[in-house]
Amino acid sequence: MTAAEPTERSDTGVGPGTDGAPESGQTAGYRHLLKAVVYRDLLVWVRYPVDAVFGLVIGVFFFGLMFYGGRMVAGQAINDTIEGLIVGYFLWTLSLGAYAGIMNDVQSEASWGTLERHYMTPFGFGPVVLAKSVAIVFRTFCTSAVVLAVMLLMTGRTLDLPVFTVITVGLLAIAGALGLGLAMGGLGVLYKRISNIANFLQFGFIGLISAPSFDIWWTKFLPLAQGSAMLQQAMTGGVRLWEFEPTAIAILVGAAVLYLGLGYLVFARATKRARRLGVLGDY
């Protein structure tokens, strides 16, 4: 190994020893960045198996409380609406995972003192954060799929699962939650302690997911609301993506772009101010 080889690899921004590192002599691209970040996220998750498994258990436990407790109190009423409850809870686990995942990741890196390093990568700070968002969404889909399978086993129900439609609508639906997570992560870097506000927003997701049931026209423009309505139709009624009205798809895509863009804007401005104040790595 020559003395120049380690220097050449370190300039890629991926780093030696990572699964996404390019071969010697090649320049790393965004594909290597995304691969490395996804690999790191999954590696960190599986290396703490107790915490990972307990997170899944907690997700199933709360659904069990709603399902069995609801049957004791409401009886037949809960059985008649169980499919909607399953879909709503599935979307809630997706949105909560995306929201809390990116927010906690940003705040953790700030407390570890590693957040500043993202500014020094050849890719720039924005692409690294977006790659982290993709990794967290991918992991969230995996864990939520496990929770969904257990919910179906517990209830003995079946759902229509058009994979392409569910993934597409689900991704666009949780984009708003991801935007909120980015915004709260940036505010957490700047103001440090915002746990009460962050926890409050988690429960607000329940109202957003339930918004379509109120049949108020303007609620469809809120985060998660339009995605919740379309996911219900897809998973309980078997509606495919191309069967939705163009207006519904336009609202879903527009809301995803709007809230993700606003969240990233707040995140960028908050971290920029934290750098200017010299508190980016303080905790």
How many domains would you assign to the chain?
A: 1
Domain contains 121: yes
Mean pLDDT for all residues in the chain: 82
String of b and e for 241-262 (b: at least 16 CB within 10 Å)?
beebeeeebebbeebbeebbeb
Does 157 map to a domain? yes
| Token pair for 75 | 């009886």
The answer to the question of residue 23 being in a domain is no
Position 43 pLDDT exceeds 60: yes
What does the pLDDT read at residue 223?
92
Is the predicted pLDDT of residue 24 greater than 80, yes or no?
Answer: no
Residue 15 maps to a domain:
no
| pLDDT interval class at 23 (50, 70, 90) | low
pLDDT surpasses 90 at 19: no
Residues 177-205: what's their mean pLDDT?
A: 84
CA end-to-end distance (rounded Å), the chain: 40
Host H or E run for residue 119 = none
pLDDT at residue 117, as a whole number: 77
Residue 18 has pLDDT above 70, yes or no: no
In a domain? residue 204: yes
* 103 located within any domain: yes
d(CA 214, CA 32): 45
Structure tokens at 87: 């879909």
Q: In angstroms, rounded to a whole number, what is the distance separating the alpha carbons of residues 246 and 219?
A: 18
Rg (CA), the chain: 21
> Residue 84 pLDDT more than 80?
yes
Highest mean pLDDT among 16-25, 34-43, 213-222, 241-250: 241-250
Residue 6 pLDDT greater than 90, yes or no: no
Residue 28 is classified by DSSP as -
In a domain, 20, yes or no: no
Q: What confidence score (pLDDT) does residue 83 get?
A: 85
Question: Containing domain of residue 252, as a range?
Answer: 29-277
Band (248; pLDDT cuts 50, 70, 90) = very high
Two tokens at 178?
Answer: 């991801």
Dist CA 137 CA 131 (whole Å): 10
Q: Are 6 and 26 in contact (CB under 8 A)?
A: no
Pair 274, 189: CB distance under 8 Å:
yes
Identify the pLDDT of residue 76. 63
Supply the DSSP symbol for 1. Answer: -
The span from the CA of 175 to the CA of 180, in Å, is 9
Please report whether residue 17 resides in a domain: no
Average pLDDT for residues 106-123, to the nearest whole number?
A: 76
Confidence of residue 78 (pLDDT cuts 50, 70, 90): low
Residue 113 gets the label, from left (phi > 0), alpha (psi -120 to 50) or beta, of left
